[in-house]
């Protein structure tokens, strides 16, 4: 299946980094994890398919077995949807019909200060562990005699993780542009496996989260780059409920992200289900709200060629960054 004419281009990491003067985040643990992802996991994307095909009585039976296995392999959430051309990045093709979407939580204890080295490592750690999960699901599907392809959570995938996650029933789209799960909140990462085994699909949900976002502005206030919008965008397309989408200003977000440990501040400050995921589940001392580091935002980067970037509105370009209570300014003595 080919991508739709309306599909966005895949995020062009190299062009975006070039627009902000190159990659600057240097953390040994992150480099080690990235090395394992690119030099070990990527090599395990393909494998032998068993000659004998396992027969299933129904798509429901096949879906149930694969979901049980996905949870066994480390997923915290799993859902299934049919792939459509709009779920595929421009210029890419996907040979399969169904996507098995999986998500894995990031640990709240590592987002006590954002952005920070700890939060950066946690983001990449979950890219790695969820990478293991999708590889194991793919190996299992091949052992049943069926082909499949891996859509790794780290980025260079053919499928757009967010529309797939929404259709697979993971949650609703938040003002910060990430999916909010009704139980787990937004602090998780997603990946998927595409296959053509006939599978029963899940359905998108309406749990009132999008309505809640219309009244809450926590991520908007705590975004150190002022990149999150006040209003839904009339030009950014619709979410699965038919609402205009909230569109983050990538030209403002990316320079902050690239200079400040992949930022991610909008996720742990999200108040949706905050109390649930802020609990101290395993005896670790945690606070109920993160300390957000506010530093002067770099200049916006709008120099990536138009045909290499997706649409984003220029949000709050003329407004100074709001300084909420609980914020933290970096100074020369800060060690984050
Ligand atoms: S990642 Fe940081 S800069 Fe980007 S939208 Fe979220 S809070 Fe704002
Ligand atoms: S912080 Fe509030 S407005 Fe932002 S995504 Fe979460 S619930 Fe929505």
Q: Is residue 265 part of a domain?
A: no
110: containing domain: 24-195
In a domain, 334, yes or no: no
Distance in Å, CA 105 to ligand 1 centroid: 19
Query: Measured between alpha carbons, how far is 169 from 159 in angstroms, rounded to an integer?
Result: 16
Instruction: Classify burial at 5, counting beta carbons within 10 Å of its beta carbon; exposed 0-12, middle 13-18, buried 19 or more.
Output: exposed
Does any domain span residue 251? no
pLDDT at 331: 55
Task: Identify the CA nearest to 192 among candidates 139, 155, 150, 162.
Answer: 150
Q: Which residues contact 208 (CB under 8 A, 6 or more apart)?
A: none
Task: Answer yes or no: is 69 within a domain.
Answer: yes
CB distance 77 to ligand 1 below 6 Å: no
Ligand 1 and 270: CB distance under 6 A = no
Task: Please state the pTM of the whole predicted model.
Answer: 0.94
Contact 264 CB / ligand 1 (< 6 Å)? yes
pLDDT number for residue 190: 97
Spacing, Cα 216 to ligand 2 middle (Å): 6
Cβ atoms within 10 Å of 37's Cβ, excluding its own: 18
Q: Measured from the CB, is residue 217 less than 6 Å from ligand 2?
A: yes
How many whole angstroms from 116 Cα to the centroid of ligand 1? 13
Contact 266, 315 (CB under 8 A): no
Q: What is the pLDDT of residues 108-152, one digit of tens each?
A: 999 999 999 999 999 999 999 999 999 999 999 999 999 999 999
* Ordered DSSP codes for 210-231: HHHHHH--HHHHH-TT--S-SS
Given this model, what pLDDT does residue 256 score? 95
Contact between 236 and 247 (Cβ < 8 Å)? yes
**Residue 270 CB less than 6 A away from ligand 2:** yes
Q: How many domains does the chain have?
A: 1
Query: For 36-144, where are the E strands, in sequence order?
Result: 77-82, 98-105, 113-114
For ligand 2, the distance from its centroid to the CA atom of residue 272, given in whole angstroms, is 6
Of ligand 1's listed atoms, the one at least distance from the Cα of 262 is 1
> Is the C-beta atom of 209 inside 6 A of ligand 2?
no
- The tens-digit pLDDT sequence of the chain (336 residues) is 999 988 999 999 999 999 999 998 999 999 999 999 999 999 999 999 999 999 999 999 999 999 999 999 999 999 999 999 999 999 999 999 999 999 999 999 999 999 999 999 999 999 999 999 999 999 999 999 999 999 999 977 999 999 999 999 999 999 999 999 998 899 999 999 999 999 999 999 999 999 999 999 999 999 999 999 999 999 888 988 999 999 999 999 999 999 999 999 999 999 887 666 667 677 788 888 899 988 888 899 999 999 999 999 999 998 887 777 777 766 555 544
Could you tell me if residue 283 is inside a domain?
A: no
How far is it, in rounded angstroms, from Cα 1 to Cα 66? 23
Tell me, yes or no, whether 324 lies in a domain: no
* Residue 57 domain-assigned (yes or no): yes
Ligand 1 atom nearest the C-alpha of 176 is 5
Judged by its nearest atom, the ligand closest to the C-alpha of residue 220 is 2
In a domain, 248, yes or no: no
**For residue 325, what are its two tokens?**
């209570």
Q: Reduced to 3 states, what is the DSSP secondary structure of residue 166?
A: helix
Amino acid 289: pLDDT: 86
CB 236 within 8 A of CB 311: yes
CATH code: domain of residue 181: 3.40.109
Q: Is 193 in the pocket of ligand 2 (CB under 6 A)?
A: no
- Full DSSP string of 250-288: HHHHHHHHHHTTT--TTTTT--TTHHHHTS-TTS----S
- Cα gap 170→166, rounded to integer Å: 6
């Amino acid at each position: 299946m080919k991508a739709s004419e309306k599909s966005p281009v895949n995020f062009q990491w190299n062009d975006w980094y070039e627009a902000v003067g190159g990659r600057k985040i240097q953390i040994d643990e992150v480099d080690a994890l990235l090395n394992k992802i690119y030099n070990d996991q990527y090599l395990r994307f393909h494998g032998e398919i068993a000659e004998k095909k396992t027969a299933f009585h129904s798509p429901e039976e096949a879906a149930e077995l694969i979901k049980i296995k996905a949870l066994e392999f480390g997923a915290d959430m799993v859902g299934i949807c049919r792939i459509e051309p709009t779920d595929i990045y421009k210029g890419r093709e996907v040979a399969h019909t169904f996507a098995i979407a999986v998500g894995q939580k990031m640990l709240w204890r590592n987002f006590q200060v954002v952005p920070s080295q700890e939060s950066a490592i946690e983001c990449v750690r979950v890219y790695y562990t969820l990478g293991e999960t999708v590889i194991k699901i793919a190996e299992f599907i091949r052992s049943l005699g069926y082909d499949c392809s891996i859509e790794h959570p780290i980025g260079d995938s053919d499928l757009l993780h967010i529309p797939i996650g929404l259709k697979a029933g993971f949650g609703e789209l938040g003002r910060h542009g990430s999916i909010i799960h009704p139980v787990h909140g937004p602090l998780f990462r997603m990946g998927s496996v595409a296959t053509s085994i006939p599978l029963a699909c899940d359905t998108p949900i309406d749990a009132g989260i999008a309505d809640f976002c219309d009244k809450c502005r926590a991520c908007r206030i705590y975004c150190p780059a002022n990149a999150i919008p006040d209003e839904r965008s009339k030009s950014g397309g619709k979410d699965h409920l038919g609402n205009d989408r909230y569109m983050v200003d990538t030209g403002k977000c990316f320079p902050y992200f690239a200079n400040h440990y992949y930022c991610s501040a909008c996720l742990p400050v999200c108040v949706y289900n905050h109390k649930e995921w802020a609990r101290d589940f395993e005896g670790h001392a945690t606070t109920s709200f993160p300390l957000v580091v506010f530093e002067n935002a770099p200049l916006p980067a709008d120099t990536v060629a138009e045909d290499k970037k997706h649409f984003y509105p220029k949000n709050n370009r003329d407004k100074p960054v709001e300084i909420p209570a609980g914020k933290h300014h970096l100074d020369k003595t800060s060690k984050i």
